[in-house]
Amino acid sequence: MELTGLHLLLTYECNLECDHCFVWGSPLQKGTMTLRHIRHILQEAKALGSVKNIYFEGGEPFLYYPIMLRGIQEAAGMGFKVGIVSNPYWATSEEDAIEWLTPVSGIIHDLSVSTDLYHSNEELSQQARNALAAAEKLDIPAGTINIAQPESTESEAAYGQLARGESAVMYRGRAARDLVSRTLQHPWHEFTKCPHEDLCNPKRVHIDYLGNLHICQGISLGSLFDTPLIELCRTFDADANPVIGPLVKGGPTELVRRYDLALGKSFADACHLCDMARHALRERFPDILRPDQMYGLSSS
């Protein structure tokens, strides 16, 4: 496993609670990185040697702005290309957005802001426009993350025909609970591969405040705070992993077959079936299917 990107889930906390969120971000979530956590992760990334990009995201990373800013500064100082993913609630005017972004101007290489109907009112849409306008004035490369509503693909004719710049919902996390009733369902045996992640040789992973190295959110390869990143990469064996192995062999369908799970006959997409299977398997594989936050539960 030769990683080139680490995405730091700075916090699970968010000022919003979007239906499509697959890390269950909300104001009630708990779990935030400290500077000590961030520095440890950056040192591990540097020691690995292959990591080029560091992203700060969440939850909403701007909720912990001083910690995010220091982490960005130190990551950039170590030679990493740095990016941020944000909602962006903080861009209450273009002038204010410039104040928020000026400290990272010339440091970050990408600002990705969410702007879609899940961030659902004109005020938030204006905040996204303010953030993009401020980024342009500060020469910060910026773009948007726009997730389509389930109804955008509710008919076979429309399936996959999204508007330019939109991405489809991935029905995992909160979306697997709140949005599946609004879209087409497909037979469970059709989902024979993971359509989104390279599970055999991932190039980027997510890391949370517990050090969990997520090959996909909610599937942990271990904790960086217990085992060096070099060791986690060196010993990674997708086929031998009891959760990842079946997914590699035959997608979520194989995961259901391998463990004889009774989950139903139809699902919104591969993520939906995988999410349901992982929920059913958590007690069996607690060291892999973690932490609680990724499964809609309060942190312990």
- pLDDT at position 197 is 87
> Could you count the other beta carbons within 10 Å of the beta carbon of residue 177?
14
- pLDDT at position 155 is 40
Residue 95 domain-assigned (yes or no): no
> What does the CA dihedral 63, 65, 68, 72 come to, rounded to 10 degrees?
140
Q: Which of 183, 147, 140 is nearest to 165 (CA)?
A: 147
Contacts of 139 by beta carbon, 8 Å cutoff, 6+ apart? 105, 106
Residue 35 domain-assigned (yes or no): yes
- pLDDT at position 160 is 43
First CA to last CA distance, the chain: 31
Residue 116 domain-assigned (yes or no): no
Classify 45 as helix, strand or coil: helix
Residue 112 domain-assigned (yes or no): no
Give this prediction's pTM. 0.89
Spatial distance between the Cα atoms of 169 and 251, rounded to a whole number of angstroms: 18
Contacts of 228 by beta carbon, 8 Å cutoff, 6+ apart? 44, 47
Q: How far is CA 229 from CA 7, 69, 81, in A?
A: 14, 24, 19
- pLDDT at position 161 is 43
Q: Which of 78, 104, 74 is nearest to 86 (CA)?
A: 104
Contact 184, 153 (CB under 8 A): yes
Question: For the chain, how many residues are written?
Answer: 300
Q: How many domains does the chain have?
A: 1
Q: How far is CA 46 from CA 49, 54, 250, in A?
A: 5, 11, 35
Q: How many helices (H) and strands (E) does the chain have?
A: 8, 11
Residue 120 domain-assigned (yes or no): no
Q: How far is CA 252 from CA 196, 199, 228, 278, in A?
A: 12, 12, 29, 9
Contact 267, 273 (CB under 8 A): yes
> Could you count the other beta carbons within 10 Å of the beta carbon of residue 139?
9
The amino acid at 236 = F
**How is residue 229 written in tokens?**
């990143």
Q: Which of 80, 33, 4 is nearest to 224 (CA)?
A: 33
Residue 256 domain-assigned (yes or no): yes
- pLDDT at position 158 is 37
- pLDDT at position 176 is 86
Contact 175, 217 (CB under 8 A): no
Domain residues for the domain of 41 are 5-86+148-295
Residue whose entry in the numeric block shows the structure tokens 């170590």: 78
Residue 240 domain-assigned (yes or no): yes
Over its length of 300 residues, how does the chain's per-residue pLDDT go in tens digits?
899 999 999 999 999 888 888 888 999 998 899 999 999 999 999 999 999 999 999 999 999 999 999 999 999 999 999 999 999 999 999 999 999 999 999 999 999 998 765 555 555 688 989 999 999 999 999 988 766 566 544 444 334 443 444 457 788 888 888 888 888 889 999 999 998 889 999 999 999 999 999 999 999 999 999 999 999 999 999 999 999 999 999 999 999 999 999 999 999 899 999 999 999 999 999 999 999 999 988 654
CATH code at position 253 = 3.20.20
Residue 225 burial (C-beta neighbours within 10 Å; 0-12, 13-18, 19+): middle
Spatial distance between the Cα atoms of 214 and 219, rounded to a whole number of angstroms: 5
Residue 142 domain-assigned (yes or no): no
Phi, psi of 219 (to 5 degrees): -120, 105
